[in-house]
Structure 1
């Protein structure tokens, strides 16, 4: 084999190994690549309790109950609802009917225990994934840009 042939074989082997490594990483991360799940996607996924997840949707009207720093509310995508409990200070812009993303753990009773709550930052903003999920379900009420 000539010098050029050896070099070509080495490069092809390295590319194959890099491709295999990238494929294995993507396969291992396939469930963690999603930024968040909507309540409907979570219901279909049948996730085991104790799993760390991010849930996105709208805060359902009339569901926010505050008791000191303990807060319970419902996140909805207009198809399914998920009860969320959170202890701590909520963002200033958190309110009913607004977009929210919560990060936490799914409890054995089906409720969600949030570690952090992210709210929208102005009147027109909603996380793109929440807006896309609402558009997909046909319940989007915002403007399209």
Structure 2
């Protein structure tokens, strides 16, 4: 084999090895990616059962229910809305201090077959001016906030986002 041909084979093997390593890394990360969805996204196309994702929007005014489970842990239910759609969230744990009705929230969890989002983590916004980028984008897409008109409206004005019934995903 000539030197030129050996160099070509070496280059080919290095390219094949790099491509294989990239494919393996992407395959490994695929299961660990957590996507953000708004209630409207879920109403359009429900994610596969058991798939973890972030659900964000505004906590619907008057939707917060605090209970205690039989084992003594807090059992909390509330509704997240983006205006056109809403999803009921069940969370077993202590809510963050900044959690309020009418304010932005991002939750991490899975959607159950009954259409209830089972949150394993609840993140509240930092102060009255902060809004997670994903929530701001979802509000812009649904037309509830136009960034050219200034910052998002204060949380206490979002009480008009009450929906008569949360949009639940049908079984199947």
Q: Once the 2 structures are TM-superposed, how far is the Cα of residue 16 of structure 1 from its aligned partner?
A: 3.9
- Give the match's secondary structure for 1:66: strand
Q: Counterparts in 2 of 1:109-128, with a 5 A limit?
A: 109-128=114-133
The match for 1:3 is 3
1:86 to 84, 87, 91: 91
Q: Unaligned 5+ residue runs, structure 1?
A: none
Q: Unaligned 5+ residue runs, structure 2?
A: 69-73, 153-172
Q: CA RMSD for the aligned pairs? A: 2.6
Q: Is the 8 A contact 1:49 1:110 kept in 2?
A: no
Q: Deviation per CA, 1:89-131, whole angstroms, max 9, x where unpaired?
A: 1000001121111112211211111111111112111111111
Cα distance between partner residues in 2 of 1:2 and 1:128:
57
Tell which has more relative contact order, 1 or 2 (C-alpha 8 A, sep 6+): 2
TM normalised by structure 2 equals 0.69
TM normalised by structure 1 equals 0.80
Q: Is the 8 A contact 2:54 2:107 kept in 1?
A: yes
Q: Counterparts in 2 of 1:12-23, with a 5 A limit?
A: 12-23=12-23
Aligned residues: 144
1:143 to 151, 159, 167: 151
